[in-house]
Structure 1
Amino acid sequence: MRFTPARYASPLLLTACGAISVFAYAPVNAFALMWLALAALFLVAGKAENPKRAALLGYVWGLGYFCANIYWIFISLHTFGGMPAWMAAGCVFLLAVYLAIFPALGAWLGHKLGNTRCIRVGLTLPTAFVLTEWLRGWLFTGFPWATVGTSQLPMTSMAGYAPILGVYGISLILALSLGVIAALPRNPKAWGAVAFTWLAGWGLTHVEWTQPIGKPVTVSLVQGAIPQDEKWAQEHYLDNLRIYLRLTRQAKGEIVILPETAIPSFLSDTPDWYLDYLRAAVAPRALVTGVPLTGQHVEEYYNSVMFLTDPKMPTYSKHHLVPFGEFVPLPWLFGWMYHYLNMPLSGFTPGGTKQAAFAIGPTTRLAANICYEDVYGREIIHALPEATLLVNVSNLAWFDGSWAAWQQTQMSQARALETGRMMLRATNTGMTAIIDNHGKLVSVLAEGKRGILEGTARNYVGMTPYARCSDWLALGLGGLLLVLARFLRRKH
């Protein structure tokens, strides 16, 4: 095969376009860069001579996309996990190699289903891309980090579609809008249809899908800012307990929330005097804290949140565990990694799919989720309609110095929009935040700062269309579009 610069320029360009998408997300929030990244993929893949070439182009785009968007995993593996730098970088790259399969599959399928360049770019490539993006968030427990629709929230009019179609529906509308404009750049009707769709989204942002109930409640979100290399060290154990006890005593809210594993020991190993001091510090108010729990069997333990001041001490145990961080998938294949990692409590047991919200006072029904569980919109809605308020407790010290906390907060904002509930975030090192039911940040405590975020929250009742139907509306719409593409193919 003869060397042709243009043939190799396109993959390099697509890799760069995929990589710059990281700036579309928080904290930069240059959301228009996602438009550029996706439009470039659809245009170049749409011109490919065959589906195989389109898949290659989708793959190199995905490689740039994921290497840029999951770079922070290196910090947890190397800086805090103790893995050699070359090995940690290799593991992150291998994960990107796997994740890039999904946009490659979308490009292959989109090219194969479209028999003309116009149909490919405007219809089949955008639709297939989003359907395979959903597949990425589901297959092998799923990894929906950096879903393209999230990059548009909550600052664009796409936020209006979140309570109806969820973040994958936003991905679909965004991808189709860009595909239509790229396929028909001089067609006024195409521009008009896209403009109408985006204006309709702005109109939908004014629709109230849920209603406030009862009086506002004051909340205190405690951020201990304990470095990861000290959090589990035995010599710092009592100091860490004292930090959270001191902050709890200073908290003023009716509901005081401590982050994931704020108590860095199993509840059964935690001194009784300490638990009594915590309860006394807030009585008669409510205290919710992260604490690991042991189970009934040997080596059965849970990453949990406990309503400590309730006499029954109800708990929520994390259901969706982090692969390689909280459990080892396929131990016979990946068990070798743990010879290099220093990760405490890496063999958690998953909690139940549906767990009761904490009943606090007359109206508050607080549904907890832990760590990156707020990435999964379809799982957060399991707490509805009972839950009136959502809380995420996390320890993101594993990724200090990266944008991971900002990116996850943006996903929490998406969950608030999808459910029509406020989302509270209590973290060890940041971002501790209060998010309203429209996905807007009400207040944030600076990353790395030891302190308390005091604020007010409202309880909400009612069900958004997304809370009722989950991702099925978006998936159904995508399926109908592929049927339309099949019809157009026969017509031509």
Structure 2
Amino acid sequence: MAAAGAVTVFAYAPVRAFALMWLGLAVLFVFAGKAESGKRAAWQGYAWGLGYFCANIYWIFISLHTFGGMPAWMAAGCVFLLAMYLALFPALGAWLGYKLGGNSWRRMAISLPAAFMLSEWLRGWLFTGFPWATVGTSQIPMTPLAGYAPIIGVYGVGLILALSVGGLAAFARKPAAWAGVLAVWLAGFGLSYVAWTQPVGKPVSVSLAQGAIPQDEKWAQAHYLDNLRIYLHLTREAKGDIVILPETAIPSFLSDTPDWYLDYLRAAVEPRALVTGVPLSGPHKEEYYNSVMLLTAPDMPLYSKHHLVPFGEFVPVPALFGWMYHYLNMPLDGFTPGAAKQAPFKIGPTTRLAPNICYEDVYGREIINALPQATLLVNVSNLAWFDGSWAAWQQTQMSQARALETGRWMLRATNTGMTAIIDEKGQLIKVLPERQRAVLEGTAQNYTGETPYARWGDWAALASGGLLLLLAWLSGRKDKARAGKAIV
């Protein structure tokens, strides 16, 4: 079971062998659906989840050990402990699906897929959530199921995928099952051609800078001036009307950054717009923010990161986990969260740019907070913490999902990769190679309007999953009632 979960890592970018997710889910649903007890089904789900998460979050080891300085054995242990926690969610889904399904075919076809999706949503919400590697994301943008993303989001895509796999696992010999699945997938293909949002204004030229500064140099005082020069040089090279620098491109608090450097940055682009990542200190002691600023506007509007990274940007339950920081060298590990809703940057007559920072783009329900005002999305990140892994590819695929859900172009400006331009259909338009110091030049189209997902969020998917579980449970009760009457 663990191998069936682990192999799904190849369903995501960069490999994108999306059919492996079908196989992994089929193994889970068959074994859990035919288990002899709910407890046994839960263990099947737990083993599957342990393999799934060990394979999909292995890159955390790099940040803890290679760049954080934690001993290898301890870093590996922390990653495994996190995987053990995350595996509880597919275990819960398997147990609940088994208990409510009644018989094996109903479990595989209805209750296990629905319970699995609900457990995924719970994983993405509980204790601030960790929705990395949701199964629906693995199908975006390559399969017809991507057409459902603007309506019901990635959790809805995952539900339809799980129902398709579970239905075929339960009724593989029945042509009607294959015909039903084919019809649903063809409908998704048709939906991919629906224009949920509308372009506004002319395309705007954009420049996305990628400094390729190694993580062990980014915060080193000896490299501070060199790092400033790198992004100043890239800014001077940029040709776009909107120039975007990545997360903490300025590696010091704005109040500690030399005024002459900020003046040079402005002079390099004016009268165009410059957006840059920079940490800000607040009015109170130990209050500071991971922020993005429109440096060329007179009032310098800013966006401060709302959804902070546990253990990276804040310490959850310090009494329980504070010991870890004796073994870690983590700069700026005590950020303050920004507001949940923040106004997009007004640039020119049509562009309303909504920033998000680092892994905030894995939270679809939060990205839609900027709509419908925002016409363009931008993610600024520093993924040098995970260099040498697939983390940047995986996160880019999640950005593609956010573009589809919102019907907006997504720009990604990163320190080491993947810097990219993504259109409103989730397609990669242009990408810079990882660890290459360069400026990605291109154009982006502003969009207006709202997709159904932007209006409903995850509620449509949650309601669908809950209703399916209820129907499976009621159907199982009817079967028991009939069986009791037959005995009498």
TM-score using structure 2 length: 0.98
Distance, in Å, in 2 between the alignment partners of 1:415 and 1:270 is 33
* Aligned position for 1:177: 164
Q: Does 1:28 align with 2:15?
A: yes
Shift of 1:487: 2.2
* Aligned position for 1:395: 382
Letter in 1 for 2:23: L
Residue of 81, 87, 92 corresponding to 1:105: 92
Distance, in Å, in 1 between the alignment partners of 2:203 and 2:55 is 40
Shift of 1:479: 1.0
Shift of 1:491: 2.3
* Aligned position for 1:304: 291
Q: Does 1:469 align with 2:456?
A: yes
Q: Does 1:445 align with 2:426?
A: no
Distance, in Å, in 2 between the alignment partners of 1:318 and 1:306 is 11
Shift of 1:343: 0.6
Shift of 1:281: 0.1
What SS does structure 2 have at the residue aligned with 1:214?
coil
* Aligned position for 1:56: 43
* Aligned position for 2:419: 432
* Structure 2: 5+ residue stretches without partners: 480-488
Letter in 2 for 1:297: H
* Aligned position for 1:135: 122
Q: Does 1:209 align with 2:196?
A: yes
Distance, in Å, in 2 between the alignment partners of 1:114 and 1:478 is 13
* Aligned position for 2:324: 337
Shift of 1:356: 0.4
Shift of 1:114: 1.1
* Aligned position for 1:419: 406
Residue of 45, 52, 57 corresponding to 1:70: 57
Provide Cα deviations, 1:321-349, integer angstroms capped at 9, x if missing partner: 00000000000000000000001000000
* Aligned position for 2:484: none
Distance, in Å, in 2 between the alignment partners of 1:427 and 1:403 is 15
Residue of 382, 399, 404 corresponding to 2:391: 404
* Aligned position for 1:350: 337
* Aligned position for 2:246: 259
Distance, in Å, in 1 between the alignment partners of 2:272 and 2:14 is 35
Would you say the 8 A contact 2:45–2:93 is kept in 1? yes
Residue of 12, 15, 31 corresponding to 1:44: 31
* Aligned position for 1:126: 113
Taking only aligned residues, the RMSD between alpha carbons, in angstroms, comes to 0.4
Q: Does 1:17 align with 2:1?
A: no
What SS does structure 1 have at the residue aligned with 2:26?
helix
* Aligned position for 2:185: 198
Shift of 1:115: 1.2
Would you say the 8 A contact 2:255–2:280 is kept in 1? yes
Residue of 166, 176, 180 corresponding to 1:189: 176
Distance, in Å, in 2 between the alignment partners of 1:417 and 1:117 is 35
Distance, in Å, in 2 between the alignment partners of 1:408 and 1:118 is 35
Kindly report structure 1 stretches of 4+ aligned residues shifted beyond 3 Å. none
Provide Cα deviations, 1:2-59, integer angstroms capped at 9, x if missing partner: xxxxxxxxxxxx1000000000000000000000000000001111100000000100
* Structure 1: 5+ residue stretches without partners: 1-13
Distance, in Å, in 2 between the alignment partners of 1:280 and 1:115 is 69
What SS does structure 2 have at the residue aligned with 1:215?
coil
* Aligned position for 2:267: 280
TM-score using structure 1 length: 0.97
Provide Cα deviations, 1:364-399, integer angstroms capped at 9, x if missing partner: 000000000000000000000000000000000000
Provide Cα deviations, 1:209-266, integer angstroms capped at 9, x if missing partner: 0000001100000000000000000000000000000110010000000000000000
Shift of 1:483: 1.5
Shift of 1:484: 1.0
Distance, in Å, in 2 between the alignment partners of 1:431 and 1:311 is 31
Q: How does 1:153-172 map to 2 (within 5 A)?
A: 153-172=140-159
Q: Does 1:460 align with 2:447?
A: yes
Distance, in Å, in 2 between the alignment partners of 1:63 and 1:438 is 33
Shift of 1:298: 0.5
Distance, in Å, in 2 between the alignment partners of 1:114 and 1:266 is 55
Shift of 1:289: 0.0
Q: Does 1:292 align with 2:265?
A: no
Shift of 1:490: 2.2
* Aligned position for 1:318: 305
Distance, in Å, in 1 between the alignment partners of 2:104 and 2:287 is 55
Q: Does 1:375 align with 2:365?
A: no
Distance, in Å, in 1 between the alignment partners of 2:305 and 2:182 is 42
* Aligned position for 2:486: none
What SS does structure 2 have at the residue aligned with 1:43?
helix
Shift of 1:154: 0.2
Distance, in Å, in 1 between the alignment partners of 2:446 and 2:209 is 20
Would you say the 8 A contact 2:102–2:473 is kept in 1? no
Distance, in Å, in 2 between the alignment partners of 1:20 and 1:314 is 45
Matched residue pairs, number?
479
Distance, in Å, in 1 between the alignment partners of 2:476 and 2:41 is 18
Distance, in Å, in 1 between the alignment partners of 2:245 and 2:371 is 23
* Aligned position for 2:483: none
Distance, in Å, in 2 between the alignment partners of 1:491 and 1:178 is 25
* Aligned position for 1:3: none
Q: Does 1:483 align with 2:465?
A: no
Distance, in Å, in 1 between the alignment partners of 2:427 and 2:162 is 24
Distance, in Å, in 1 between the alignment partners of 2:139 and 2:157 is 8
Q: Does 1:94 align with 2:100?
A: no
Shift of 1:133: 0.5
Would you say the 8 A contact 2:49–2:86 is kept in 1? yes
* Aligned position for 1:384: 371
Distance, in Å, in 2 between the alignment partners of 1:126 and 1:479 is 11
* Aligned position for 2:482: none
What SS does structure 2 have at the residue aligned with 1:322?
coil
Would you say the 8 A contact 2:419–2:440 is kept in 1? yes
